[in-house]
């Protein structure tokens, strides 16, 4: 068999491979460059860009637990102007497929971020981080999510693909996804892990400088998989990107079979900055072993085999 065809499409967004670096986890791209050929990334999702520069939360910002990382960065970054002046041109020069994640504090900010990002060269897609600002319920609240995505959609031209990143919560994911699609999102990204906390067993105080955070890593994977599965069942024609605890080619294979057209790798990149390339190679080997010629043939296949055989578990 020839090498499998890894190209995939997330709506109008075509990618040379289905493995993306999740928002915030590939830094600005520069941090990954020594470890990975940036052209091997299906796409790099930038850390979420805010309108104004932000210092971020007091360190430490991430802590390892037996189930994964608890993280709260407070979205440290140079703000929109700094991002457009330094980070985006660097990625564009290297022809990295770039998805810009945006995070507004109010509808006016969301619209301004969308307009200015979408008009910049080198942006393949915009990802709306519905978990911002802290305390926002938009990633699991249909009404709030719809308002934000509608404000963003109004200000970006049709040629720029709009992705909405929702909470990886099986109880809300289908309703919130319907709402963001109604408001003009073209694809759904699963998603932010649950709120989480780590206490220092010595001091009995929160480990993170910002006290609480979110969980990413292996514990989130079956939950994210359930979200992708349910979404594909409910909305089979909607392009999905599955993120949450993807650490190996096999994890990626399973997420694609559940219905995702691409996957995002987050905290695994903190342990292994070459993870996107490694996972892509492992996925390719898996496809070859199983005689699957194209990623496109794999997407959603877990649903097809169940209904074709009529088996009940």
Ligand X SMILES: Cc1cc2nc3c(=O)[nH]c(=O)nc-3n(C[C@H](O)[C@H](O)[C@H](O)COP(=O)(O)O)c2cc1C
Beta bridge partners of 264: 20, 243
Q: Which is nearer to ligand X, 73 or 261 (CB)?
A: 73
100 DSSP β-pair partners: 126
Distance CA 218, CA 229 (A): 17
Which residues are CB-contacts of 93 (< 8 A; sequence separation ≥ 6)?
none
CB of 308 to ligand X, least distance (A): 31
Q: How far is the CB of 62 from ligand X (least distance, A)?
A: 6
Rounded CA-CA distance 189/24 in Å is 14
Shortest separation between residue 293's beta carbon and ligand X, angstroms = 28
Closest approach, Cβ 209 to ligand X, in A, equals 13
Q: Are 166 and 220 in contact (CB under 8 A)?
A: no
Smallest separation, CB 307 to ligand X (Å): 29
Cβ closest to ligand X, residue 4 vs residue 264 = 264
Q: Which is nearer to ligand X, 129 or 280 (CB)?
A: 129
- Among residues 5 and 78, whose Cβ is nearest to ligand X? 78
User: Smallest distance from the beta carbon of 240 to ligand X, in angstroms?
Assistant: 14
Our CB check for ligand X shows the closer of 13 and 69 to be 69
Minimum distance from CB of 69 to ligand X (Å)? 5
Question: Residue 29 or 217: which CB sits closer to ligand X?
Answer: 217
The residues that touch ligand X, with contacts defined as CB under 6 A, are 22-25, 47-48, 62, 69, 71, 73, 75, 101, 129, 165, 192-193, 216-217, 220, 243-246, 265-268
Rounded to the nearest whole angstrom, what is the least distance from the CB of residue 205 to ligand X in the complex?
21
Specify the residue, 4 or 244, whose C-beta has the smaller distance to ligand X: 244
Query: Given the complex with ligand X, which of 44 and 183 has the nearer CB atom?
Result: 44
Q: For ligand X, which residue has the nearest CB?
A: 24
Residues in the chain, total:
313
């Amino acid at each position: 068999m020839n090498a499998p065809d890894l190209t995939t499409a997330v709506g109008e967004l075509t990618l040379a491979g289905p493995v993306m670096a999740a928002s915030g986890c590939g830094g600005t791209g520069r941090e990954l460059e020594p470890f990975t050929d940036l052209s091997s990334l299906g796409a790099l999702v930038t850390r979420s860009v805010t309108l104004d520069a932000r210092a971020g939360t007091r360190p430490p910002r991430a802590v390892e637990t037996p189930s994964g990382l608890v993280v709260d960065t407070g979205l440290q970054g140079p703000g929109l102007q700094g991002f457009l002046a330094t980070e985006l041109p660097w990625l564009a020069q290297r022809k990295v497929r770039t998805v810009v994640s945006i995070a507004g504090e109010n509808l006016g900010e969301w619209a301004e971020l969308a307009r200015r990002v979408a008009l910049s060269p080198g942006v393949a897609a915009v990802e709306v981080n519905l978990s911002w600002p802290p305390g926002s319920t938009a990633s699991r609240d249909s009404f709030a999510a719809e308002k934000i995505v509608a404000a963003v959609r109004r200000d970006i031209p049709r040629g720029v693909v709009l992705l909405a990143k929702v909470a990886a919560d099986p109880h809300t994911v289908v309703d919130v996804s319907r709402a963001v699609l109604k408001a003009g999102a073209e694809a759904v990204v699963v998603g932010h892990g649950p709120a989480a906390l780590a206490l220092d067993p010595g001091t009995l105080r929160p480990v993170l400088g910002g006290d609480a955070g979110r969980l990413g890593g292996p514990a989130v994977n079956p939950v994210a998989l359930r979200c992708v599965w349910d979404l594909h069942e409910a909305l089979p024609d909607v392009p999905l990107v599955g993120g949450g605890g993807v650490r190996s080619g096999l994890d990626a294979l399973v997420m694609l079979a559940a219905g995702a057209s691409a996957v995002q790798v987050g905290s695994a990149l903190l342990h292994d900055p070459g993870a996107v390339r490694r996972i892509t190679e492992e996925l390719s080997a898996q496809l070859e072993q199983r005689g699957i010629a194209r990623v496109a043939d794999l997407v959603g296949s877990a649903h097809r085999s169940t209904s074709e055989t009529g088996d009940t578990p």
